[in-house]
Amino acid sequence: MATATRTRKATIRIVVLRAPGTNCDEETGYAFERQGAQIQHLHVNALLKKPTVLGRAHGLILPGGFSYGDDLGAGTVLGTTLRHKLRDSVLKMVDRGGIVLGICNGFQILVKTGLLPGFGEEQSVALASNVQNRYEDRWVTLRADATNVFFKEGDIIRCPIAHAEGRFLVADNGVKKQLESNGQIALRYVTVDGESPAPYPFNPNGSTDDIAGITDPTGRILGLMPHPERNQFPWQDTRFHAGTAPRTPEGLLPFKNAMSHLKKTFG
């Protein structure tokens, strides 16, 4: 009598990187863990000692916070470190089909590394001080304006922002056109009705064309200023007590979609 064999599913391994000042690593890792990923929390010094860890990983997460106190500018110290010592290892992981997600400070870091927008060595975009010249902490509505491994075009989600340097700027109009033609503008700030343009406070920082997040040309590296990991439970949504919050928190969407991609690619 033939015996049935059970196909063993591949374990999706995701590295959550932290440094002095990082403060959103546990929540972000947990959002992926809830989708079935195996999470490895690593201090940047540990990864620098053993960069081969990325050779076995399927994803790298750069969470929010204030890495190294942002003393030299948001994301500058960690971004420069990754640019010179780990950039090639990260790109090899992405070439295999892996993902990179940078949230808030993580987005700032990805810009400093040159991994975003991925046009070359010269930095062509920046995240500058909010136009109000103050820290902004509020909920925003986002619309996905392109399809990638994290979102489908037309997705609408709500989640908080918490930053002082989140104003997305481009070096020139040519960079903006290239982002648009490549489908790299992942997210835009919109009004609560999903409309744009979005005046303040819907666009909380004065970002060019209401841009809240971009990807690299592959769509597998995403940087965004808002914090989807802070809307992964129904009671975190500001609409919860009014009874109008979605049953499945909208902040889980990029984590679910990314894990779906990784399971299809590596499973």
Q: For this structure, is 241 an active site residue?
A: no
Which tokens go with 37? 């990923």
Determine which one of 27, 136, 165, 229 is catalytic: 229
Give the Cα separation of 101 and 254 in Å (integer). 10
Give the Cα separation of 263 and 255 in Å (integer). 12
Give the other-Cβ count within 10 Å of 233's Cβ. 12
Determine which one of 104, 136, 165, 250 is catalytic: 104
Q: Contact at 8 Å (CB) between 141 and 190?
A: yes
Sign of the C-alpha dihedral, residues 35, 186, 42, 66? negative
Residue with tokens 């940047």, as numbered in its chain: 44
Q: For this structure, is 122 an active site residue?
A: no
Which residues does 2 contact at the CB level (< 8 Å), separation at least 6?
Answer: none
Q: Contact at 8 Å (CB) between 188 and 209?
A: yes
Give the Cα separation of 189 and 211 in Å (integer). 6
Nearest to 246 by CA among 161, 124, 185, 155: 155
CA atoms within 13 A on the CB side of 85: 15
Q: For this structure, is 227 an active site residue?
A: yes
Catalytic residues: 104, 227, 229
